[in-house]
Amino acid sequence: MRITRVLSTALLALGLAAGPAVADSSPSPGASDDGKAPTQAGTSFRTATELRQGQQATASGSTGDYLYWSFPADTGQRPTVKATVKLPATHGAQTWQIDVYDGLRRRQACQYGAASRTAGQDASSVDLACVLRTVRGWSEPWADDPLPGTYYIRLTVVDLGSADLGKSVSADVRVDSKDIGGAAAVDGSLGRPLVPGIAVKSGKEGDGSKTAVLSSFGSDDGWSSGWWSDRWVWTAIGGVLAALAGIGGYALTRGSGRPSRVPPNV
């Protein structure tokens, strides 16, 4: 009976501990579509159009142009960038490509997905996709691991005939993320997300000093750099299971009563 009560209490504790892990899997604030989706793209890193996760952005341009968007990605997220380029009615074979850069403008490798594709003469569109690695809360200075902050999307054609240069095209771009959670947690976090400045403004003290103005992706977008992750929940569950194993082992090995002691023959 005592072991049964202990097991019942442990199962109740496990249920309560798993609650925060389930709640933590809900989409981050940056994944909601609170505003109108952008209908144009920038032409450089500095003029990249801001795109929130979950939005469907559209843009028109010409073959040969560089189209840029930016989006926020936080710790524990694995972003997926998808793009569809609608081609002219008549065109030759051409190859399109999407590249993703972090806040330090380091090109991030795609974990999987077709980031570059060639469209034949009879193709009306070309679909591209890039699944990034999971964003880490901290990394070595020499590493190129994805870190929380702003990310840039660059869409362009990399191979086409001279006759197709300058023809009108349109593009649809969307960014979504999968929340990996504590499985990607590391012992460390950035002091601030990698959100580069895009302008300057006067200091509050009125001394004429200039301070960088960050992109509008700020704290309201759900930056979670901190000590908490659902890894703590599973660590607590492991501790409870270890304690149960110890109690069960003790109960099984101690026996039902005290061993009898036979006095030696005199």
Task: Tell me the per-residue pLDDT of 106-131, one tens digit each, with 9 for 90 and over.
Answer: 999 999 999 999 999 999 999 999 99
Whether the full predicted model's pTM is greater than 0.75, yes or no, is no
Highest mean pLDDT among 160-174, 202-216, 250-264: 160-174
Q: Rounded to 5, what percent of the chain is helix, strand, coil?
A: 20, 35, 45
Task: Please state, in angstroms and rounded to a whole number, the distance separating the CA atoms of residues 178 and 82.
Answer: 14
Of the pLDDT bands very low, low, confident and very high (cuts 50, 70, 90), residue 227 is low
Which pair of structure tokens corresponds to residue 110? 């795609």
| pLDDT of residue 20 exceeding 60 | no
What's the rounded mean pLDDT across residues 138-146?
80
| pLDDT of residue 212 exceeding 70 | no
Q: Tell me the torsion sign for CA atoms 9, 14, 17, 18.
A: negative
**What pLDDT is stored for residue 31 in this prediction?**
37
The runs of H, that is alpha helices, within 58-127 are none
Among the residue ranges 81-90, 157-166, 246-255, the one predicted with the least confidence is: 246-255
In sequence order, what are the residues at sequence separation of 6 or more whose Cβ sits closer than 8 angstroms to the Cβ of residue 74?
28, 30, 135, 148, 193, 221, 222, 223, 224, 225
Q: Where are the domains of the chain?
A: 18-231
Highest mean pLDDT among 28-42, 199-213, 221-235: 28-42
Query: Residue 80's closest CA among 66, 98, 68, 67?
Result: 98
| pLDDT of residue 261 exceeding 70 | no
| pLDDT of residue 84 exceeding 70 | yes
**Helix 231-253 to helix 2-24 angle, to the nearest 10 degrees?**
170
**What pLDDT is stored for residue 104 in this prediction?**
87
Is the pLDDT higher at 237 or at 64?
A: 64
Region for residue 16 given its phi and psi (left: phi exceeds 0; alpha: psi -120 to 50; beta: otherwise)? alpha
Which pair of structure tokens corresponds to residue 98? 């999407």
Mean of the per-residue pLDDT values of the chain: 75
Exposed/middle/buried for 176, CB within 10 Å: 0-12, 13-18, 19+? Answer: middle
For the domain spanning 18-231, the CATH number is 2.60.120.380
**What pLDDT is stored for residue 257 in this prediction?**
55
